[in-house]
Amino acid sequence: METVGINSSKSYDVIIGSGLLPDAGKYITEILSCKTAVIVSDDNVFSLYGETLKDSLAQAGLGILTFVFPHGEQNKTLSTYGDLLNAMCSGHISRSDTVIALGGGVVGDLAGFAAATYQRGIALVQMPTTLLAAVDSSVGGKTGVDLESGKNQVGSFYQPSMVLCDTDTLKTLPETEYRNGCAEIIKYAMIGSYDLFRELSKTPVCRQYESVISKCVSMKRDYIEQDEHDLGCRMMLNFGHTVGHAIETCSHYTIPHGEAVAIGMAMITRAACTLGICEISVLDALLQLIDKYALPSESPFESDILAAAALTDKKRKGDKLTIVIPEDIGKCVLKEIPKDELYEWIKAGGSK
């Protein structure tokens, strides 16, 4: 078992290991004096792990309210968020109670936003069941829901009280979800760890879950503690995401997050090579690793369509946008560009 401590506006532990889910009630009641836990999950995940979590919470003496919604990014909406808040009101949930996000990034974002805003904030426990959520979205406090114009356009920064990552839940991941998580792990390697990049090339992620998750969370911890609200160095974690989010939006979320980020990383790296910022060997190594994990590297959308979608990104500041550019494996830099230049970057990245 690995524990990574996060010291931001709220200090908490990310606990990573096998067999944590059946003991979740014990872990939660050791740090929180709540009476009722609100389990937020989607229909896929709850059918696998909901009863185990309920049994654990009941054994710890907690009351339980469940909110289960249809899986998929298309359901991370203001409507679902409102339904969750109304369910919490109807269940007489108070500020002394706790929300538990049992699931992947969609569940974590939605449940986190509800916890942040219900009665101006109640405790939140993240229990990621996907690789992507384990290495990224469950840690760091970003919560939110989507609007028609783009992803995570409404949300808040709200740190959890604990993250419990039971690696046993990753054994039931569909292949697509596994690949999505691998894309985010490749991102971490590209922005800050040549050693991790080399290790991913040698050993499949599925054979080193605990180690890889711990490394990624530790890297994210370092960014969060310096820049919790994503105004400076934490933006490095957005490598591949500006274009990636645009691809997700243009596809109406039929292209999942990890695949979109893989395409985004490949496109920005191609553009960096074209503009002489990095060597072609960096692009070749990245494309080989993307291919090793059966991820895509080509955009199906035209440059002008992607650029228009990307300009709705919440990271845009007026007429400027910050993008993450690779200089080498394990080394990226932030570059602020006029919004009008984004089309040229996307075009140089190989879009139609």
Structure tokens at 107: 């569940």
Residue 352 has pLDDT above 80, yes or no: no
d(CA 114, CA 94): 13
Residue 320: what pLDDT? 87
Tally of domains in the chain = 2
Residue 185 burial (C-beta neighbours within 10 Å; 0-12, 13-18, 19+): buried
8 and 157 housed in the same domain = yes
183 & 299 share domain: yes
User: pTM of the full predicted structure?
Assistant: 0.92
Domain that holds residue 206: 175-348
| DSSP track, 76-132 | -SHHHHHHHHHHHHHTT--TTSEEEEEESHHHHHHHHHHHHHGGG--EEEEEE-SHH
Please tell me whether residues 123 and 159 are part of one structural domain: yes
Instruction: Tell me what pLDDT residue 351 has.
Output: 62
Task: Clarify whether residues 164 and 179 are in a common domain.
Answer: no
Contact 235, 325 (CB under 8 A): no
The pLDDT of 152-168, averaged and rounded, is 96
pLDDT digits (tens, 9 = 90+) for 66-94: 999 999 999 999 999 999 999 999 999 99
Backbone angles phi, psi at 269, to 5 degrees: -70, -40
pLDDT (tens digit per residue) in 196-221: 999 999 999 999 999 999 999 999 99
| 263 and 186 fall within a common domain | yes
Of the candidates 121, 137, 172, which is a domain's last residue? 172
Based on the domain organization, do 217 and 165 belong to the same domain?
Answer: no
For residue 150, what pLDDT is reported? 82
Asked if 166 and 191 sit in the same domain, the reply is no
Query: In this structure, are 83 and 166 located in the same domain?
Result: yes
User: For residues 85 and 156, what is the distance between their CA atoms, to the nearest angstrom?
Assistant: 16
Q: Do 67 and 27 sit in the same domain of this protein?
A: yes
Contact 251, 172 (CB under 8 A): no
Verify that 273 and 211 share a domain, yes or no: yes
Structural domain ending residue among the three candidates 172, 199, 219: 172
- pLDDT tens across 277-328, in order? 999 999 999 999 999 999 999 999 999 999 998 887 656 666 889 999 999 9
Q: Given 117, 141, 172, which residue is the final one in a domain?
A: 172
Q: What is the CATH number of the domain that holds 218?
A: 1.20.1090.10
Token pair 């599925």 in the structure block, residue: 206
Give the CATH number, domain containing residue 147. 3.40.50.1970
Do residues 168 and 187 both lie within one domain? no
- Whether residues 50 and 87 share a domain: the answer is yes
Q: What is the mean pLDDT of the chain?
A: 95
**What letter does residue 318 receive in the DSSP assignment?**
T
Are the beta carbons of 144 and 180 closer than 8 angstroms? no
Report pLDDT for 86: 98
